[in-house]
Amino acid sequence: MKTGVLALQGSFYDHVQSLEFIDQDYVLIKDTSDLSHVNSLILPGGESTSMIKIQENNDLFSELKKLIESGIPTLGTCAGLILLAKDVIDGETSLGVLNTVVERNAYGRQNQSFEGLVNLLGNKEMYCFIRAPKILSYEDSVTPIATIDNEVVGVIENNIVGLSFHPELTNDKNYLDWLSNFIKDGVNVRSL
């Protein structure tokens, strides 16, 4: 089985590199025909509005939503988090499968991007925030898994993980170990 990496726009090749580091087969998803034999998903950073527009004349997002709701492990980083969120401030809700409210570009414009020390499941690493969305609120069914300066920047709900930052740009050992467990086995989601 393969991990499907949404490849409409954005940092999908960086996620491919992460998958290569953990010896995970993958397929780049550009339309619904790419979804067969996919048992996990990664929705990359990039420009959520562009991704929504690129796929608007086909059924890709409705098919992705069905896959996610079927329970397959799904990771969304930055714009991927925006695509997953139930409600988006200053943006459009698309998949709406993660019970969070996020605000697009809440940490600032491109020139205000930064690196910060993130506590991801008890391990601290430097990660990049590039025009990152902010998690404003979340339902009781959602559990925080990452913080920066006591602010929640990563959450999990069942099979779905949403991160405001880009762990695929760092590919530290803790992240890759977690990714391997999450994507390959769908287990150990809350532990590194």
* pTM value surpassing 0.85: yes
- Cα angle for residues 164, 170, 172 (degrees, 5° grid): 110
Residue 65 token pair: 């939503």
- The band of 20, judged by pLDDT with boundaries at 50, 70 and 90, is very high
CB 119 within 8 A of CB 109: no
On average, the pLDDT of the chain sits at 89
Domains detected in the chain? 2-185 (3.40.50.880)
Pick 9 or 106 by higher pLDDT: 9
Residue 83 is predicted with a pLDDT of 94
Span between the terminal Cα atoms of the chain, in Å: 23
Q: Is the pLDDT of residue 99 over 50?
A: yes
Residue 180 in this model has a pLDDT that exceeds 80 = yes
Backbone angles phi, psi at 24, to 5 degrees: -105, 130
The pLDDT value given to residue 120: 92
Please give the structure tokens belonging to residue 32: 């619904």
pLDDT band at 188 (very low <50, low <70, confident <90, very high): very low
Q: Give yes or no for residue 183 having a pLDDT over 80.
A: yes
- Give Rg (Cα) of the chain: 15
Using the predicted structure, report yes or no on whether residue 185 has a pLDDT greater than 80. Answer: no
Among all residues, which ones are annotated catalytic? 78, 166, 168
Give SS3 for 181: helix
For 31-82, write each residue's pLDDT tens digit. Answer: 999 999 899 999 998 877 787 777 777 889 999 999 999 999 999 999 999 9
- Cα–Cα dist 98/160, whole Å: 7
